[in-house]
Amino acid sequence: MRRRTLLSAAVLGALGTATWLRARNHDASEKQLAAGTVNTMSDLNLQTDAHPDTIQAWELTEQQWQERLDESAFYVLRKEGTERPFTSPLNDEKRPGTFACAGCGLALFNTEQKFDSGTGWPSFFDTIEGHVGTKRDFKLIVPRTEYHCKRCGGHQGHVFNDGPAPTGLRYCNNGVALTFIPA
């Protein structure tokens, strides 16, 4: 737990005041995303049963993404930003259902894959197979593995090797990058 706390403190320090100022006004929009009431999300192409081989990449312009997403979702999904910990209502979501990308609606996680990591971000020990991609991230100097939605390329978060069994992984996700679909 000390390592997670130290990592969280390092992340927040590195992000600086500008990120904090952007994130502090986003609590209401995150609640709307979780409730599925944001108008910009109304045209999501929710896809919970896509076979990895049939997922076609979306290619939208930056302007199209800005029109589609609210400011906080755009910052995280398209600019690889990070929301403040303990601000997402999805952190406490425990109902049966699916967590989908807030950018395009591709299902990324099931409730059964979720666990409470104590970090302040929704965390999962596995993904829906073939629905995320990864790349190396050196933003904090120390290399990390960033993961993103396979369909729209939207940044979701980072994966760490300190999760529970059976995978030992912790997919640490920005809540604003997800929408919840109850079963």
Q: Is 172 a catalytic residue?
A: yes
pTM: 0.72
What is the per-residue pLDDT across 98-157, written as a single tens digit (0 to 9) for each?
A: 999 999 999 999 999 999 999 999 999 999 999 999 987 766 667 889 999 999 999 999
Catalytic residue among 104, 149, 152, 172: 172
pLDDT at 11 over 70: no
Backbone torsion region of residue 22, taken as left when φ is above 0, otherwise alpha when ψ lies between -120 and 50, otherwise beta = alpha
What does the block give as tokens for 117? 């990591």
> Over 37-58, what HEC string results?
CCHHHCCCCCECCCCHHHCCCC
In sequence order, what are the beta bridge partners of 103? none
Query: Residues near 144 by Cβ (< 8 Å), separated by ≥ 6?
Result: 136, 137, 138, 158, 160
User: In CATH terms, is domain 2-182 a member of 2.40.37.10?
Assistant: no
Residue 165 three-state SS: coil
* DSSP 8-state symbol, 81: -
pLDDT at 35 over 70: no
Which pLDDT score, from 0 to 100, does residue 58 have? 79
Query: Residues near 156 by Cβ (< 8 Å), separated by ≥ 6?
Result: 77, 101, 108, 132, 147, 148, 149, 171, 173, 174, 177, 178
Which pLDDT score, from 0 to 100, does residue 165 have? 96
